[in-house]
Amino acid sequence: DAQESRGLGDVYKRQILYTTVLRHKLYSGKLKCHKRKGSKMFVRKHGAMRQIVIENNRGGEGKHHICHILDPAQNPAEMNGKGKMFADTFLEPGSSVGVHEHKGDTEAYYFLEGKGLYTEDGKTCEVEAGDVTLVQDGHSHGIKNIGETPLRLSLIHISEPTRLLSI
């Protein structure tokens, strides 16, 4: 089992590296997207993504940086009316998102870099690159960066079709 776990860790590391390289090539203009005949292509360059910084997010401490990859608050069609947010985010060292309850939605975090302390319904555990968390409707969660480097994660917020998040 230990060898299997180590192998999965290597798979996640390769996947993160591959994604990071592709993202760099796309954002730097080295990877070109071509429109196919008859398709409706969607490409948003990194510089056009809405980026915000929230201080003391949900009663937490410090700064939470959010880059909206898909932004249904600006264009509800981007997630077919079923999502509130798909974002690349990071918390500065010592920063946190306070514990908050989810009502009518679900949220997943996929950790890319750093080390954090994740809380869900009063229970806590450490998280790091390659880990994923999922909080369901009616449950509460929060996250704190306990490392010395930024805690970077992708998040997706899935909701009922009529509810949208405005951040």
Question: Mean per-residue pLDDT for 5-10?
Answer: 48
* Position 163 confidence tier, pLDDT thresholds 50, 70, 90: very low
CA distances in angstroms from 122 to 47, 62, 102, 143, listed in the order given: 38, 21, 14, 12
Write down the residue that tokens 């009663």 correspond to: 59
Residue 117 confidence (pLDDT):
98
| More confident site: 50 or 30 | 50
Distance CA 66, CA 109 (A): 13
Residue 17 confidence (pLDDT):
53
Question: Mean per-residue pLDDT for 28-55?
Answer: 74
Residue 147 confidence (pLDDT):
97
Q: Which helix (H) or strand (E) holds 5?
A: helix 2-27
Write down the residue that tokens 């997943």 correspond to: 108
pLDDT digits (tens, 9 = 90+) for 96-112: 999 999 998 999 999 99
Distance CA 165, CA 65 (A): 16
Question: Mean per-residue pLDDT for 57-85?
Answer: 91
Question: Mean per-residue pLDDT for 127-143?
Answer: 97
Distance CA 23, CA 164 (A): 27
Question: Mean per-residue pLDDT for 59-82?
Answer: 91
Question: Mean per-residue pLDDT for 125-134?
Answer: 98
Residues ≥6 apart with Cβ < 8 Å to 14: none
Residues ≥6 apart with Cβ < 8 Å to 1: none
pTM value is 0.72
